[in-house]
Amino acid sequence: MNITKFKKPFVLTVLFFLPVLFLLFLYPSKHNYKTLDILKKDLPELTNFVDKNGDDLSLENHLTVLGFLGETPMDDAILALNLKELVYDKFRGFKRFQIVILVPESAKDQVMLLEKELNQYEFLEYWKFGFGTKEDVLAAYQALKISTVLDANLKTSDVFIIDKERNQRGRLDDRDKNEIKRNSPIFGLSSYDCLEVSVLKNKMSEDVRILFTEYRQKRKGNFNSTSRRADDLKGNEKN
């Protein structure tokens, strides 16, 4: 038998089917995601807040990361810098993404200094500060599902994910695989601590990607409302 006679067709067949097998392997992983849990529905709009130019702010139709930096935001510039580098820089090009930081009106001078620090290398188009009364800041915070309180300066290191329908998103069950195997008590994740780099880099980045994936699937008509949380999510298209 002439082996070389069959060698070329065999090689061509392998070369043809390898990409097909690779795509079949990837296909399940592209759909292997579960949605981010809704923790609290129908949050109030930011009707009592304006940006530095006096323009209105809105949660509706935006995917928002919401934060509170209090009366002296420059004292906690590291929180804003962590959020910029680990979350904003990853999602700034995604449609309808924004970061909104609510502060009392007395913080305007400090905000100007912080903006100068944040905008040192580029203008942060999708990062906004919202100014309101102290009562408005407190009311906006208390409307959320929270596990901590604002300090005396109306600040917290925690930030929150708000979807386009003004629902707060997070995790009803934040246990890892080992904790689930040990049958550890269920605990959730309603906010993300900007002091914890690993939380921003891993959990929050993952959860924001999951939410963008959910909206992309809804547009394509492939969304399954019964699914929950991501088990494995690798980069997604821009929303």
Question: What's the pLDDT score for residue 35?
Answer: 86
* Residue 125 resides in a domain: yes
At residue 188 the predicted structure's pLDDT band, cuts being 50, 70 and 90, is: very high
For residue 9, the enclosing domain spans 1-30
Residue pair 186/173 in contact (Cβ under 8 Å)? The answer is: yes
**Stretch (H or E) spanning 158:** strand 155-162
Residue pair 170/191 in contact (Cβ under 8 Å)? The answer is: yes
SS3 for 99? strand
Residue 30 or residue 181, greater confidence: 181
At residue 131 the predicted structure's pLDDT band, cuts being 50, 70 and 90, is: very high
For residues 98 and 216, membership in a common domain is answered with: yes
* Residue 97 resides in a domain: yes
Least confident of 3-12, 16-25, 108-117: 16-25
Q: Is the pLDDT of residue 176 over 60?
A: yes
* Residue 228 resides in a domain: no
Signed CA dihedral, 150, 155, 158, 163: sign only? positive
For residues 8 and 97, membership in a common domain is answered with: no
For residues 57 and 167, membership in a common domain is answered with: yes
For residues 8 and 75, membership in a common domain is answered with: no
* Residue 229 resides in a domain: no
pLDDT tens digit string along 26-40? 344 444 457 899 999
* Residue 237 resides in a domain: no
Residue percentage of the chain with pLDDT more than 70: 78
* Residue 46 resides in a domain: yes
- Number of compact structural domains in the chain: 2
Q: What is the CATH number of the domain that holds 173?
A: 3.40.30.10
For residues 15 and 42, membership in a common domain is answered with: no
For residues 157 and 211, membership in a common domain is answered with: yes
**Helix boundaries (H) for 119-238:** 134-142, 177-181, 197-198, 205-220
